[in-house]
Amino acid sequence: MKSRKLLSRLSSHLLSLLLGVLLCFGGFHFLSSQAEPFVEPSLNNQGNNSTPLNLTKVPITGSRESFVSAAVTRTGPAVVRIDTETVVTRRVDPFFDDPFFREFFGEQFRARLPQERRITGQGSGFIVDGSGIILTNAHVVNKADKVTVTLKDGRTFNGEVRGTDEVTDLAVVKIASQGAKLPVAPLGDSGNLKVGDWAIAVGNPVGLDNTVTLGIISTIGRSAAKAGIPDKRVDFIQTDAAINPGNSGGPLLNSQGEVIGINTAIRADAMGIGFAIPINKAKALQNILATGQKVPHPYIGVQMVNLTPELARENNQNPNSPILIPEVEGILVVQVIPNTPAARAGIRRGDVIVGVNGKPVSDGSDLQSIVENAGLNASLKLQLYRGDRVIDLTVRTAQLQGTP
């Protein structure tokens, strides 16, 4: 009886085990049947076609042209190379006019002495008007006896320097198109620039025509004094786009190919620091230069540095200091140029200018801008410290001496 029960229970266990094995393998087969092998996507893959993807045949969507290429295509034809030639006459040493020398060596030797030499130069520019008006730098064409303009398409023209302004380093050259159609560069608005905007420099550096470099706007409104060019009156665009000799006068473009500046100078003691004249400044002076007129540059005639109370205190504590300086924040006059408006107004070395026309001023660049914007023959009321006294003086602006 017991053996029968034992056999019955054993049979039940074996049946359960067999049923479990069947269910397990059946489920595995069911699940596996739902999966399909992985097939790489392919351009030729239709349905279950498993041809591998050939990446070399994948079409590139959109245009292959970069924004730099598009910008240069738009403006590049209007960029020109400017070659100059200047004849320099040398005075013959009086020694060669000595009768003894002339008798000993003869007149033929003296006649062979070179009295003239030709100096060549090269720069860039760009056409801004279909009549042949070209903007460039003054230092590219100033005092040149011959100017040759070459377009990107190979056409060559004689150039006439219509006007130059050394203070802003701007110049206008005119070519006679003789009815030929000329490419014209689109001009942008340098007043809308932001730090970080793209900057594309185009020109002919070191004789390498039609060279393009790319960078960004590093800063705007960089004063000439802070840029290390104290003899200029420009608030420059600073860029890290490479500007090299021969780039001078060429355009600085934005990402749309519009001219936003005129490449002018670099810092010789640094890399990646170049400067361009804002195009809005060039627009304002273009007609004046094109007609050969003198560009107005008001001045008062002082050399100055910014002053803080700390600097003044350090000076005053020095026993060897030649003067005592008011310990205030302002603009210290370090020199008054003779026969200038400042000299006639009674401004003295050591004065500290702290206000103009009732408004405080503490930066020399701000004072220069006030004078520039006031125009010629304008009266400016200066408030200044002289020692421990506060003095009010009136100075009248005049045309900067030495400008053409």
Q: What is the DSSP letter of 366?
A: H
Catalytic hit among 139, 255, 363, 366? 139
CA distance 280 to 188: 8
Provide φ and ψ at 375, rounded to 5°.
Answer: 90, 180
Cβ pair 116, 69 in contact under 8 A: no
Catalytic hit among 124, 218, 223, 248? 248
| Inter-CA distances, 219 with 215, 239, 254, 273, 274, Å | 12, 7, 14, 10, 11
CA distance 40 to 285: 65
Cβ pair 333, 300 in contact under 8 A: no
Catalytic hit among 83, 124, 165, 169? 169
| Inter-CA distances, 243 with 69, 203, 207, 282, Å | 18, 9, 13, 19
Cβ pair 121, 200 in contact under 8 A: no
| Closest listed residue to residue 384, CA positions, set 352, 347, 349 | 352
139 an active-site residue? yes
Strand, coil or helix: what is 250? coil
What is 49-89 written as a DSSP string? --PPP-GGGPPPPS-S--HHHHHHHHHGGGEEEEEEEEEEE
The beta strand positions in 211-322, using DSSP E, are: 211-223, 235-239, 251-253, 259-266, 274-278, 298-299, 302-307
Tell how strand 302-307 and strand 330-336 pair up: antiparallel
235 an active-site residue? no
Could you list the active site residues?
A: 139, 169, 248
